Structure 1
Amino acid sequence: MSAINRRYDIDWLRVMAIGLLLLYHVAIGFQPWGMMIGFITNDKPLGSLWPIMAMLNVWRIPLLFFVSGMGVYFAMQHRSWKQLLLERSRRILIPFVFGLFAIVPLHMLLLQHYYHWELSYQPGPGHLWFLGNIFIYVVVLCPVLYYLKRHEQGKIVGWIKKLSGHPGWLLVVIAVFVAEVLLVDPMPYELYAMTWHGFFLGLVAFLFGFCFVLAGTAYWNMLLKWRWLFVVAAASLYTWRLLQPNMTVSNILLVIESNCWIFSVFAFGHKYLNHSGKALRYLSEAAYPVYIIHMVFLYLSSLLIFPLNIDVHLKFLLVLAGTVAGCFLCYEFVIRRVGVIRPLFGLKNRKGL
């Protein structure tokens, strides 16, 4: 983000969203269906994790799309559209292509080794599908984003700023997401990776994220004013979902719950997280490389720990610790310090490290 009008709360939310993604992926290894989506899974599941996972799963990925749209607004501040596309290619496209051919096949080899399958090189987007979507959004929406940015004093942006200060604006936001699920009819709602639902939901969230920052202080003041209503609404809808057989509710209710959680996160983040520090500066740079490599260390930790004859709760903690430690050790002593590697993980090639 630009140093001008930098929003540290958005930086913190991006870091936290990546952290939740890592935690969620570790938890998948302790669910009976984990192997069905290509995860190394423990023989004994840990069912107590599922209610928390189910709560997170309706908003953790949409939150990342919102935050990505916000980040593009700041990236545009002192760049032409050509410079933006070049910067996003360096930041997103290069790591995506590198990960597709180098990172994803590596953790697939670990999966094959664990289950004694024939070893084979399998390039693909894997968990990096998110990066491919984001790059497409930047390219497709670039004319719209630059039109809005260059006409911040115009009628369209004026209406956005005027409407966004009223809570009714959030009903419009929710209505667009409801329209998406009615048109696409995803089954299940939480299946985002490499689906049309994930693509269109991400596109809408990305564009609204951009508009939320474009709208200015009126929008964020409105979120702060109504923050407890969002929390109560989200918690109530989640409680209702818990009470249903197999936690099954309509996609429309999931959309409303998802957005209420996200509005709550933005509101409380804006109130309490809009400050910098050494921890944020370090984690903000580390989050992206950690996201790219975390599946390798997750699978490696699972491969080493799952065969052990120890309590399943201890296994979860050890896999989590091994994944986090492996990611940050690799980032600190390899990715961060080797200049030729940095661009492959979306980092600037700096001197003096």
Structure 2
Amino acid sequence: MWGRRYDLDWLRVFAFGVLIFYHVGMFYVTWDWIVKSRYSAPFLEPVMGLTNPWRLALLFFISGAAVRFAIDKTTLGIFLPERFTRLLVPLAFGMAVICVPQAYAELRYLGEIEPGFFAFYRDYLGYGDFSIVAPPWYHLWYVAYILVYTLIAVACLPLLRPAATAFGGSFVAWLARGRAWRLLFVPALPFAAYAVTLDPYFPTTLALWGDWANIAQTLTFFLIGFAAAKSEDFWNAVDRTLPASIFLSLVLGGLLLTALLNQFAVGSDLQLLNAVLLLREFYAWSIIVMLLGLGRRFANCASPTLTHLNSAIFPYYILHQTIIVLVGYWFTVNEASVAIEATTMVGATVIGCILGYEVLRRVPALRPLFGLPKRRRRAEA
């Protein structure tokens, strides 16, 4: 009944792609980041701000659905060691190797350490006294969170399965029976509640423990994906709601863009600021429903390109930020025009990810370090 969900594969590739180019943009906007360009491009901030509410939320939703499909397809004795290895090994390797150049570049940029990578690496592994937590996981926080959420799902499986059945049954049937507003507004209510009750008191730290507002948001998206994965009513409702979700996404996106373009005025009015924060949550859910609907309608098909990207996108994700930070740091100490700098940043990120993947996928010892399964022998394949 449930075959390969190519639409979710395409959306996963799309969301990771948005994330990679978002991090290129972080080098230029005025927001705090690891290293910063000599040039600023505040005009990017409203565009990037429109992706903030949904890009990671979509990834957590898809990850929850993927865990549901994988658990139901095999036994826990096979699923848990395989998934644990596919996530923990890249996380550990990333913190010990991939993220080290980022930490070195950041601390050199801040002026906290002297030149000398290998001397720094000894301190890095020995938990030297730095202004950053060492060893940091930087962009790999997503892997750490997904690993923990997967373990939670497995531990709570006796409760999650009936809960998912109930969610995918009577509750989603109630959502599906109503007009579009039910699907587009009701599931967003918990996120609106988090924005009011948790966000003001628990700023995002990406440190897992203590990151309660972010955990509530991402874990809820993960669990909704887990519960909705095999609900015919949910996916039929997504299909029927597509025109309304497109309309609502455009309207709420327009309002949010207006707020982003007038952020100082919004920030000076507490009531208006709270209204915008609530609007973000409904915008995030409406655009996720829209993307799910567009994926089902236009991208639920296999292709050689998808097969390649589906395998490559996780290694791309692991590699991309280190490439961006290293190239960015070089430009902080070697002046160049903004056109040369920006072109090099984008080109180096894309080419570095592509070449890096093409090399590591051919080296059996490197494949597990980047979340790739061991290569089967040709006869087995």
**Short-chain TM bin:** 0.7 to 0.9
Matched letter for residue 151 of structure 2: V
1:93 and 2:88 correspond: yes
Aligned-residue offset at 1:205: 0.5
Which of 100, 104, 107 is 1:105 aligned to? 100
1:214 and 2:209 correspond: no
* TM-score, normalised by the number of residues in structure 1: 0.88
1:83-136 deviation line (CA, Å, top 9, x unaligned): 332222022122112212222223212333455541342312221111111111
Taking a change above 3 Å as real, the CA distance of residues 126 and 238 of structure 1, as seen in their structure-2 partners, is same
Aligned-residue offset at 1:352: 5.9
Aligned-residue offset at 1:305: 3.5
Aligned-residue offset at 1:143: 5.0
Aligned-residue offset at 1:267: 1.7
Taking a change above 3 Å as real, the CA distance of residues 262 and 340 of structure 1, as seen in their structure-2 partners, is same
Distance 2:293 2:9 in 1: 14
Taking a change above 3 Å as real, the CA distance of residues 285 and 186 of structure 1, as seen in their structure-2 partners, is farther
Matched letter for residue 51 of structure 2: L
- The answer to whether the 8 A contact 2:84-2:147 is kept is yes
1:42 and 2:22 correspond: no
- The answer to whether the 8 A contact 1:46-1:312 is kept is no
Which of 288, 301, 314 is 2:327 aligned to? 301
Aligned residue for 1:214, secondary structure, equals coil
Aligned residue for 1:77, secondary structure, equals helix
More deviation, 180-189/205-214: 180-189
Residue of structure 1 in register with 2:197 after alignment: 183
Aligned-residue offset at 1:219: 3.1
Aligned residue for 2:141, secondary structure, equals helix
1:263 and 2:286 correspond: no
* TM-score, normalised by the number of residues in structure 2: 0.82
Aligned-residue offset at 1:161: 4.0
Residue of structure 2 in register with 1:163 after alignment: 174
Instruction: Compare CA radii of gyration and give the structure with the larger one.
Output: 2
Distance 2:194 2:163 in 1: 28
Which of 207, 212, 216 is 1:196 aligned to? 212
Matched letter for residue 7 of structure 1: R
Distance 1:82 1:157 in 2: 26
Residue of structure 2 in register with 1:226 after alignment: 244
- The answer to whether the 8 A contact 2:202-2:213 is kept is no
Aligned-residue offset at 1:177: 0.9
Distance 2:2 2:365 in 1: 29
Matched letter for residue 199 of structure 1: I
Aligned residue for 2:99, secondary structure, equals helix
CA RMSD, Structure 1 to Structure 2 (Å): 2.6
Tell me the number of residue pairs that the alignment of Structure 1 and Structure 2 aligns. 345
Aligned-residue offset at 1:182: 2.2
Taking a change above 3 Å as real, the CA distance of residues 8 and 230 of structure 1, as seen in their structure-2 partners, is farther
Aligned-residue offset at 1:146: 5.6
Aligned-residue offset at 1:50: 1.1
- The answer to whether the 8 A contact 2:153-2:160 is kept is no
Residue of structure 2 in register with 1:15 after alignment: 13
Taking a change above 3 Å as real, the CA distance of residues 155 and 311 of structure 1, as seen in their structure-2 partners, is closer
Residue of structure 1 in register with 2:347 after alignment: 321
Taking a change above 3 Å as real, the CA distance of residues 50 and 240 of structure 1, as seen in their structure-2 partners, is closer
Distance 1:254 1:141 in 2: 27
- The answer to whether the 8 A contact 2:60-2:221 is kept is yes
Q: Percent of pairs identical after alignment? A: 28
Aligned residue for 2:306, secondary structure, equals helix
Residue of structure 2 in register with 1:174 after alignment: 188
Aligned residue for 1:47, secondary structure, equals coil
Aligned residue for 2:364, secondary structure, equals coil
Aligned-residue offset at 1:192: 6.5
Aligned-residue offset at 1:72: 1.0
Aligned residue for 2:229, secondary structure, equals helix
Distance 1:47 1:350 in 2: 45
Aligned residue for 1:141, secondary structure, equals helix
Residue of structure 1 in register with 2:129 after alignment: none
Unaligned runs of 5+ in 1: none
Aligned-residue offset at 1:21: 0.9
